[in-house]
Chains A and B, each alone.
Chain A
Amino acid sequence: MPKEKDYELRLYVAGMTPKCLAAFTNLKKICEEHLEGRYSIQVIDLLENPKLAQGDQILAIPTLVRKLPEPVRKIIGDLSNTEKVLVGLDLRERI
Chain B
Amino acid sequence: MAETDGQNELSHRQLAKCPTGITGMDEITGGGLPRGRPTLVCGGAGCGKTLLSMEFVVRGAVNYGEPGVFMSFEETSEELAKNVASMGFDLADLEKQKLLALDFVYIERHEIEETGEYDLEGLFIRLGHAIDSVGAKRVVLDTVEALFAGFPNELILRSELRRLFRWLKDKGVTTLITGERGEGTLTRHGIEEYVSDAVLLLDHRVVDQIATRRLRFIKYRGSVHGTDEYPFLIDESGFSILPVTSLTLDHAVTSERVSTGIPRLDGMLGGQGYYRGSSLLISGTAGSGKTSLAAYFADAACRRGERCLYLAFEESQNQIIRNMRSIGLDLEPWVKQGLLKFHAARSTLYGLEMHLAMIHKLANDFQPATVIMDPITNLSIVASLNEVKSVLMRLVDFFKNRQITILFTNLTHSGELEATTLGVSSLMDTWLLLLSVESSGERNRVFHLLKSRGMAHSNQMREFIITDKGIDLVDVYLGPGGVFTGAARLQQKAQEKGAALATQEELERRRRVLDRKRQIMEAQVAALQAEISAEEEELQALQDKSKLQQKTAGEERERLALARQADSPEFKEGE
Contact = CB atoms under 8 A, between A and B. Distances in A.
B114 A84 contact: yes
A60 B115 contact: no
A50 B117 contact: no
A66 B134 CA distance: 32
Interface string B97-129: 000000101110001111111111111011011
Contact of A76 (B103, B106, B114, B126): B114
Given A14-B121, A76-B118, A78-B118, A57 B113 contact: no
Contact of A53 (B107, B122, B147, B151): B122
Contacts of A58: 122, 126
Interface in A27-49: 46-47
Contact of A14 (B113, B115, B122): B122
Interface in A73-95: 73-81, 84-85, 87-88
Contacts of A51: 129
A80 B118 contact: no
A59 interface: yes
A79 B122 contact: no
Contacts of A47: 125
A86 B386 CA distance: 67
Interface residues of A, number: 34
A64 to B, nearest CB: 9
Interface string B449-479: 0000000000000000000000000000000
Interface string B279-311: 000000000000000000000000000000000
B125 A19 contact: no
A80 B116 contact: yes
Given A12-B122, A57-B105, A81 B129 contact: no
Interface majority SS (helix, strand, loop, mixed), chain B: mixed
Given A59-B105, A59-B126, A63-B122, A77 B150 contact: no
Residue from A53, A62, A63, A88 whose CB has the most chain B CB atoms within 10 Å: A53
B83 to A, nearest CB: 21
Contacts of B118: 19, 60-63, 76-78
A19 B119 contact: yes
Contacts of B122: 12, 14, 46, 53, 58-61, 63
Nearest to A77: B116
A65 to B, nearest CB: 10
A72 B122 CA distance: 18
B115 A75 contact: yes
Contact of B120 (A26, A57, A61): A61
Contact of B115 (A46, A53, A71, A85): A85
B114 A77 contact: yes
A80 B117 contact: yes
Contact of B126 (A50, A72, A84): A50
Interface string B118-151: 1111110110110000000000000000010011
Nearest to B150: A59
Nearest to A47: B125
A78 B115 contact: yes
B117 A74 contact: no
A75 B112 contact: yes
Interface in A8-24: 12, 14, 19, 22-23
Contacts of A85: 113, 115
Contacts of B115: 75-81, 84-85, 88
A68 to B, nearest CB: 15
Given A14-B125, A57-B105, A59-B105, A87 B120 contact: no
A73 B103 contact: no
Contacts of B119: 19, 60-61
A57 B129 contact: no
Contacts of A19: 117-119
Contact of A50 (B111, B114, B120, B128): B128
A54 B111 contact: no
11 contacts: A58-B122, A58-B126, A59-B123, A60-B120, A62-B118, A63-B118, A75-B112, A75-B115, A78-B118, A84-B114, A88-B113
Interface of B: 103, 105-107, 111-123, 125-126, 128-129, 147, 150-151
Given A59-B107, A77-B115, A85-B115, 15 more contacts: A12-B122, A22-B117, A23-B116, A50-B126, A53-B125, A53-B129, A57-B106, A60-B122, A61-B121, A61-B122, A63-B118, A76-B112, A76-B114, A78-B115, A87-B113
A-B complex: 3 closest residue pairs judged by Cβ atoms: A88-B113, A50-B129, A80-B116
